[in-house]
Structure 1
């Protein structure tokens, strides 16, 4: 079954959707869209370092994404607004990554594949890495779900319940870094944030509980993968952007539905 490239592509996309759904819900609730975007952009620098050092791209992307997150945490509140800091770091990391790639002599790299994804080129090994990363992210979310919800709702309530909000923030940071690392081959660095945010935002008007929103986001993300890949095959369009376009249409539909209901 895995010999068919479309089957591998679909399974890879579904794995990313499963990881991105619960994490994307917290990104939406905590208004961390810029944070997700900055982490995704930093992954390009991780790719360049991985190729230069001849190590796993997954390991390099995770390491740089975590470094970006820790840098933001350390520098926040020291004279710069958070959105300004994230904008500077995100675009700087992307620029340094692109420049670093140009210095890699003797190494051929399809930069477009890492910027916009190349889901149709996913191998069986990539598929194993994607699903292992997705399982780890989902496991972390399930394990810390109650604590994450409490710290998201109120830091004071979290402290009163014996929960350390900074620890929960680090759980989210680690999960985000892993998701970025496994998703870069599927939708690319420039579209990862879209897969985190759009399905969760589309699920919000349809949900009454946090758990329902995470599950609905996973369903919307999975449906976007299936329909987007089919559309890319029929209309000969780029697979990664096609998936995001379908998710965006789902967001428009649920937003219109919410407007009609009110």
Structure 2
């Protein structure tokens, strides 16, 4: 079954949706969109280093993404505001990564594939890595679900319950680094943030509980993969962007439904 490239692409895309659904929900709740963007941009430097050192791209992207996330987590609020720090680090890491790639000698690299994804080239080993990372992320968030939710809702309440919000932020940092490393092959560095944010944002107006939002985000992400791959196959469009465009259309539809529901309630 895994010899079919479309089957591998579908399994890889759904694996990314499984990883991004719970994490993306917390990114939306905590307004950490730029944080995910900075971590994703840093991954291109990890790609360059892994190719130069002849190690796994997954491990290189994971290491640099984790280093970036830890750096932001440690420096935030000390010298500059969070958005300024993230802006500087995100674009600097991307620029250094692109410059580092240009120094690689005798290595053929499809930079567009890493920037925008190449889901149709996902191998069986990639599928295994994606699902392993997705299960790690899902398991980590499930393990810390109650503490993460309390720290997200109210840090003072978290301290009162004996929960350290900084520790829970570190858990999200680790999960985000793993997700970036997992998703880089599927949707690429520049579209990872979209897969984190768009399905979760689309699920928010349709959900009444945090658990329902995570489940709905996973369904929207998985459906976006299925529809986006079909559109790419029929219309000969880039697969990664097609997946994100599908999720964006679902977001627009969910916003319209939410607005219509509010207007109906107001007029009742």
TM-score, structure 1 normalization: 0.99
Distance 2:9 2:219 in 1: 17
Residue 69 of structure 1: CA displacement?
Answer: 1.1
Pairing 1:119-138 to 2, within 5 Å after superposition: 119-138=119-138
Distance 1:152 1:93 in 2: 28
| 2:266 corresponding residue in structure 1 | none
| 1:4 corresponding residue in structure 2 | 4
Residue 77 of structure 1: CA displacement?
Answer: 1.4
| 2:155 corresponding residue in structure 1 | 155
Higher deviation after alignment, 67-76 or 88-97: 67-76
| 1:222 corresponding residue in structure 2 | 222
Residue 121 of structure 1: CA displacement?
Answer: 0.2
Q: Hey, which bits of structure 1, 4+ residues long, moved more than 6 A?
A: none
Which consecutive residues of structure 1, in runs of 5 or more, have no partner in the other structure?
none
Higher deviation after alignment, 109-118 or 54-63: 54-63
| 2:53 corresponding residue in structure 1 | 53
Distance 2:158 2:88 in 1: 31
Pairing 1:97-136 to 2, within 5 Å after superposition: 97-136=97-136
* SS across alignment from 1:40: helix
Distance 2:231 2:122 in 1: 18
Per-residue displacement from partner, 1:96-134 (whole Å, max 9, x unpaired)? Answer: 000000100001000000000000000000000000000
* SS across alignment from 2:205: helix
Distance 1:127 1:72 in 2: 30
* SS across alignment from 1:190: helix
1:166 paired to 2:155 = no
Distance 2:126 2:138 in 1: 18
Residue 80 of structure 1: CA displacement?
Answer: 1.1
Per-residue displacement from partner, 1:57-85 (whole Å, max 9, x unpaired)? Answer: 11111111111111112221123111111
Pairing 1:89-104 to 2, within 5 Å after superposition: 89-104=89-104
Pairing 1:1-262 to 2, within 5 Å after superposition: 1-262=1-262
Which consecutive residues of structure 2, in runs of 5 or more, have no partner in the other structure?
263-268
Count, aligned residues: 262
TM-score, structure 2 normalization: 0.97
Give me the CA root mean square deviation: 0.6
Higher deviation after alignment, 234-243 or 47-56: 47-56
Distance 1:172 1:144 in 2: 10
Per-residue displacement from partner, 1:2-42 (whole Å, max 9, x unpaired)? Answer: 00000000000000000000000000000000000000000
Higher deviation after alignment, 162-171 or 121-130: 162-171
